[in-house]
Chains A and B, each alone.
Chain A
Amino acid sequence: MIAGLTSGEWAVIGLSVKVGAVAVIGAMPLAFALAWILSRKRFPGKVLLDALVHLPLVVPPVVTGWLLLLTFGANGPVGRWLAEWFGISLVFRWTGAALAAAVMALPLMVRAIRLSFDSVDRRLEGAARTLGAGRWRTFAQITLPLALPGVAAGAVLGLARSIGEFGATITFVSNIPGETRTIPLAIYTALQSPDGGASVTRLAIASVLLSLAALLVSEWLVRKGAGR
């Protein structure tokens, strides 16, 4: 089965992994910060922030993709600014696909990381403070190492979600072979032609295997963390 993939299909898989990896790495700082704020801080409007973070989970992906197009497209406010000041163009590029994937993966990552912050015993942080560790040292030496398995699990979950992202991607960056045609888009394309069935099967299996591997790693990391 592995040997049966064409070079074009390998290219699609490679692109998917690249887009997914960039999406997760790009989203991680924001997901981390949001998870921390939602886990530890109390402020007016917290419920609203929580809802906003979860929006990509419940809004139809095509809508998310369209909003990305309006904002980050060549004519969108942010897109224009990026092009003028940094020469960066996202629409119709793999970087745009990564952005779409990152937006869709963000809620899952925030949830997983927040759960791991929640599960760190606050009393351990209190103990560290009495031993002379200030807030930063407590975070770096106590909270973070204990939350790390959950953070890693969140990253892997985000990767799995990114690899499977379709609706927002095709709406925002369209279906350009070699640039934005990730696995789900390639499967969709193959479905369009009457004799694309074999390719669909191969890519579907590859996609399932990738996602399964990611989910298993994520589960293992969570258990490893819980075992402490």
Chain B
Amino acid sequence: MRRLFALAAIVAVALAAFALLRGPAPQQGPVVLAASSMQDALNDAADAWAAQRSPRPVLSFAGTPALARQIEQGSPADIFISADEAWMNELARKGLIDVRSRADIAGNALVIVAAADSPANLPAMDRASLGAALCGGRLALADPDGVPAGRYARQALITADQWGWIRRQLAPTANVRAALALVIAKEAPLGVVYASDASAAKGRVRIVHTFPAGGHAPIRYPAALLNRSQNADARDFLQFLRSGAGQAILRRHGFTTP
């Protein structure tokens, strides 16, 4: 038993040494941490950019706060794309981003969706219509206590004067894509998601209401280089996203110009 253990230890050390001593790894693409609502759009953009030059960016999607915390803890990424201003400001305050590189790359609209084959309709934004459409079920949305998509949703519902009663009939999820999934699975009759998410799920959900842009803080996606980035291609990818070609891809996925 001990000999087996010793052998395993030797093999592990040898592998580690081999990995460390092998020399510089082949150049990998810039590491991008982006809000989950950007998933499909950024994948397309990364493919388009990589078609002209390699290597392809490494994309990692999650709820904005989770990504921000990872960056605070030293995650070795090159670019951060946030779903709201607050988290980008937070990182700027901590000196973690290159402020000169910061700019908004997209905007978005907030919508309510229902499953494509559901009969639900919202003739008006009032309690009677919402209550009828929900029919005892819950309104799915990203968690208003944290995730940007949830905060926008809460603002919009407050403006529409529905928050007071509907706050007790919510199904808050970890991120906006999970809320979308609940609607597609028909566990929630309605969900509040981004227009870009509705576009990504075209055919499986349909939009029953678009919140007026004035009812919530403007939805902006600031993107910036991280100060610790050492990747020469990162700046280039960021510029691609702001270029005509990049913007066209984003618009195709339901985002608006910033």
Contacts and interface: CB of A to CB of B under 8 A. Distances in A.
A176 B145 CA distance: 11
B178 interface: yes
A218 B135 CA distance: 46
A171 B173 CA distance: 8
Interface in A180-216: 188-189, 191-194, 196
Interface string B8-30: 00000000000000000000000
B180 to A, nearest CB: 13
Given A174-B140, A175-B172, A176-B170, A91 B65 contact: no
B103 interface: no
Given A92-B171, A174-B173, A75 B187 contact: yes
A191 B69 contact: yes
B103 to A, nearest CB: 22
A73 B185 contact: yes
Contacts of B86: 194
Given A176-B170, A192-B63, A171 B147 contact: no
A53 interface: no
B213 interface: no
Counting chain A CB atoms within 10 Å of each CB, which of B86, B170, B171, B174 scores highest?
B174
A92 B147 contact: no
Contacts of A74: 137, 186-187
Given A70-B185, A92-B138, A192 B147 contact: yes
A170 B137 contact: no
A171 B137 contact: no
B160 to A, nearest CB: 21
Contact of B65 (A75, A171, A191): A191
A92 to B, nearest CB: 5
Nearest to A167: B174
Interface string A150-189: 0000000000000000000011001111000000000011
Contacts of B197: none
A177 B145 CA distance: 10
A69 interface: yes
Interface in A54-89: 69-70, 73-75
Interface in B61-120: 63, 65-66, 69, 86-87, 90
Size class of A's contact patch? 20 to 34
A191 B87 CA distance: 12
Contacts of B178: 171, 174
A22 B178 CA distance: 27
Counting chain B CB atoms within 10 Å of each CB, which of A70, A75, A92, A191 scores highest?
A92
A176 B140 CA distance: 11
Nearest to A172: B187
A175 B185 CA distance: 17
B147 A170 contact: no
A89 B86 CA distance: 38
B174 A193 contact: no
Contact of A91 (B143, B145, B174, B187): B187
Nearest to A91: B187
Contacts of A192: 63, 65-66, 143, 145-147
Contacts of A191: 65-66, 69, 146
B145 A69 contact: no
A214 B9 CA distance: 34
B182 interface: yes
A176 B182 CA distance: 14
B145 A193 contact: yes
A75 B185 contact: yes
Given A74-B137, A92-B138, A191-B146, 7 more contacts: A70-B185, A91-B187, A175-B172, A176-B171, A192-B143, A192-B146, A194-B87
8 contacts: A73-B187, A91-B187, A174-B140, A176-B170, A189-B143, A192-B145, A193-B65, A196-B146
Interface of B: 63, 65-66, 69, 86-87, 90, 137-138, 140, 143, 145-147, 170-174, 178, 182, 185-187
- Give me the 6 closest cross-chain CB pairs, A-B, nearest first: A192-B146, A192-B65, A174-B171, A73-B187, A175-B172, A75-B186
